[in-house]
Amino acid sequence: MPDLRHYYTAYATSIRCLIPEHKVDLDKLIQLLIEDKRANPSNYALIVLSEGAQWEGYKLREYGEPDAYGHRKKANVAESLADEIKQRTGEETITSDLTYDLRSGDPDFIDKLVALTFGNMAYDAMLESKTGLMSALVEGRYDLVPIPDAKLGPRKLDVASSYNTERYRPIYANKQGLPIFLNRAS
């Protein structure tokens, strides 16, 4: 399953989000954000950005020395977007990196249940000398599945069924029959 924490945050809070699977029209996004700000009595608008989000004309900036795998650090996309919005509109922008907040909140019942079950499944697989497998949720059910080939790259969100490309928001309709995390394995 792709990393959907940012998408799920936007889904649960009904705010706009940028995902790596869809390149944004920045002028249209800015217009929507200004409309959101004006409609909000507190005079602000929010947007969630996934790592890898991009817009027309955006070039990912990297910095620093390459690591052992040849990867360099990537510049913060949220800061780049905030700078671009401020430059085009003169509006004040603030960024907040929620990465660690999203990853390090207190686990709830579901977090604990899934983690404990995954660990026990992995232990059972070791006792049975099964290798090359990982614990997973498939169609909402626990299963052992082959570890995906890293050469396949990251899985993608199904934009057509999950993301409104005109409003830069999750799609809420037509979820009947989907598994609990709203995304079929791809």
- The whole-number pLDDT of residue 158 equals 85
Query: Residue 81's closest CA among 31, 30, 139?
Result: 30
Token digits of residue 149: 């080939």
Q: Going by DSSP bridges, is the β-strand pair 73-74/62-63 parallel, antiparallel, or unpaired?
A: antiparallel
Question: Residue 36 corresponds to which amino acid?
Answer: D
- The whole-number pLDDT of residue 1 equals 44
Q: Which residues of the chain have pLDDT under 70?
A: 1-3, 102-103, 183-186
**63-99: per-residue pLDDT in tens?**
889 899 888 888 888 999 999 999 999 999 999 887 7
pTM, 2 dp: 0.74
- The whole-number pLDDT of residue 184 equals 62
